[in-house]
């Protein structure tokens, strides 16, 4: 596999509403560490990661400075926006060198280095690639409380992050979409613009910590991994 270096943009300005927390959910603890620290540790341990860009709420600047001060990998803090998409664009706009950029949810602390390298390699070849896993549950399309149809599972994948892109490609699409389209993830902007995105099979453990139950799942993953 190609050993391609990369930079990663992590939008980290969320309010944690679905978590029901009184603060940014990335500040919540898993064991004795905040969620964002578990996430940053993965990229810190990867010699191919050249820089981490965190898009944050400026009101939380001091907290993030204290957390990131110990990392050897350069960490740059930028002011995030009201929406995730705006935060990502602000992160992309501070990167000067061309190459591959990852966009990763700060609340996905269980991503593994092998998956990162796989999606980076796919982006080198195809310019846009994401991790995704097959949907396991039966999915129903509904109107109100009535089922309209059962969607075939073999046509469905659940998207994950990191998503990997050629920097110029994803930055240009983000800038075009800023006033016209709000996507649910960064790959959806490429799709909206008529581009193609390659899928790389991810891992089910790469969960996004979104609800209180996910904290329990996270504890189980850490226990399984001996952490």
Instruction: State how far the Cα of 107 lies from the Cα of 34, in Å rounded to an integer.
Output: 10
Helices and strands counted in the chain (H then E) = 7, 11
Residue 17 has a pLDDT of: 65
Kindly report, residue by residue over 65-83, the tens digit of the pLDDT: 999 999 999 999 999 999 9
State which H helix or E strand residue 59 sits in.
none
Instruction: State how far the Cα of 113 lies from the Cα of 131, in Å rounded to an integer.
Output: 13
**Tokens 């016209």 label which residue?**
180
Q: Does the CA dihedral 182-187-190-195 come out positive or negative?
A: negative
Residue 14 has a pLDDT of: 76
Instruction: State how far the Cα of 194 lies from the Cα of 130, in Å rounded to an integer.
Output: 16
User: Does the pLDDT value for residue 122 go beyond 80?
Assistant: yes
The structure tokens listed for 176 are: 């075009």
Q: Which letter, b or e, does each residue of 17-29 get, where b requires 16 or more Cβ atoms within 10 Å of its Cβ?
A: eebeeeebbbbbe
- Domain extent listing, the chain: 6-224
Kindly report, residue by residue over 187-224, the tens digit of the pLDDT: 999 999 999 999 999 999 999 999 999 999 999 999 99
Kindly report, residue by residue over 147-177, the tens digit of the pLDDT: 999 999 999 999 999 999 999 999 999 999 9
Kindly report, residue by residue over 18-57, the tens digit of the pLDDT: 676 678 999 999 998 999 999 999 999 999 999 999 999 9
Nearest CA-CA partner of 185 in 73, 83, 74 = 83
Residue 3 has a pLDDT of: 85
Instruction: State how far the Cα of 27 lies from the Cα of 224, in Å rounded to an integer.
Output: 23
Q: Does the CA dihedral 60-179-200-120 come out positive or negative?
A: negative
Phi-psi region of 194 (alpha: psi -120 to 50; beta: other; left: phi over 0): left
Query: What CATH number belongs to 6-224?
Result: 3.90.550.10
Kindly report, residue by residue over 3-22, the tens digit of the pLDDT: 899 999 999 997 766 676 67
């Amino acid at each position: 596999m190609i050993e391609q270096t990369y930079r990663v943009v992590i939008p980290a300005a969320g309010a944690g509403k679905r978590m029901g927390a009184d603060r940014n959910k990335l500040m919540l603890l898993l064991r004795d560490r905040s969620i964002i620290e578990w996430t940053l540790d993965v990229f810190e341990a990867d010699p191919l990661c050249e820089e981490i860009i965190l898009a944050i709420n400026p009101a939380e600047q001091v907290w993030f400075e204290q957390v990131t001060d110990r990392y050897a990998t350069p960490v740059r803090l930028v002011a995030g926006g009201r929406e995730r998409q705006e935060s990502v664009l602000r992160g992309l706009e501070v990167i000067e060198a061309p190459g591959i950029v990852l966009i990763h949810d700060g609340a996905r602390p269980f991503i593994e280095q092998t998956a990162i390298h796989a999606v980076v390699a796919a982006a080198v070849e195809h310019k846009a690639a994401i991790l995704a896993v097959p949907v396991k549950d039966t999915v129903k399309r509904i109107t109100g409380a009535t089922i309209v149809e059962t969607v075939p599972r073999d046509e469905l994948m659940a998207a994950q992050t990191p998503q990997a892109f050629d920097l110029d490609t994803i930055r240009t699409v983000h800038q075009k979409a800023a006033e016209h389209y709000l996507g649910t993830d960064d790959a959806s902007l490429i799709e909206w613009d008529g581009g193609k995105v390659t899928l790389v099979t991810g891992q089910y453990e790469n969960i996004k910590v979104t609800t209180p139950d996910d904290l329990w799942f996270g504890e189980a993953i850490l226990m399984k991994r001996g952490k």
